[in-house]
Amino acid sequence: MIYWSTSSITTAMRLYAEDFSIKKRALKLENFPDFWDEASAKTVDPELTVNQVVRTHALSIPSPVPTWALQARYELTFQPANVLKYKYPNLINVTVLDEGGHFLAFEMPAVVADDVFNAVSAFRDWHKNKAKEGKTEL
């Protein structure tokens, strides 16, 4: 309802269109292992190395923005942490819950709130460390 009333339904639909496209489903991300090694890469494509598999099958344009992910393991759009790391090189943490689903904030509000506070704290620390290195946009 919020998407309709704020005239932002198009951006919400774009995510569904991308996540449920034939091209994305062909990647079979649900079969990707949680930890990549050469043997697991061979199960996806025997001709490619682990880096080639992830870059070919799971990587779009990387985003350098510090990122924190909170996911329900059985959500339709679940992405393994190793795949997220290629998309988000500054992935600070991935919290994976065995419970919950698509409406995680409604289903487990306290868990989501705690994770958001942890993420904000981690982002502040990340930016402080980058500032010490002289490498921050803030």
Tokens of 32: 């990707």
Angstrom distance (rounded) from CA 47 to CA 62: 24
For residue range 27-42, what is the model confidence (pLDDT) as tens digits? 666 555 554 556 665 6
In this model, does residue 1 exceed pLDDT 60?
no
Angstrom distance (rounded) from CA 83 to CA 55: 9
CB 88 within 8 A of CB 116: no
Q: How far is CA 2 from the centre of its chain?
A: 23
Q: Which residue did the predictor score with more confidence, 78 or 3?
A: 78
- Quick one: pLDDT at residue 52? 64
- Average of pLDDT values for 107-131? 93
Phi, psi of 33 (to 5 degrees): -70, 160
- Quick one: pLDDT at residue 110? 96
How many other CB atoms are there within 10 angstroms of residue 94's CB atom? 17
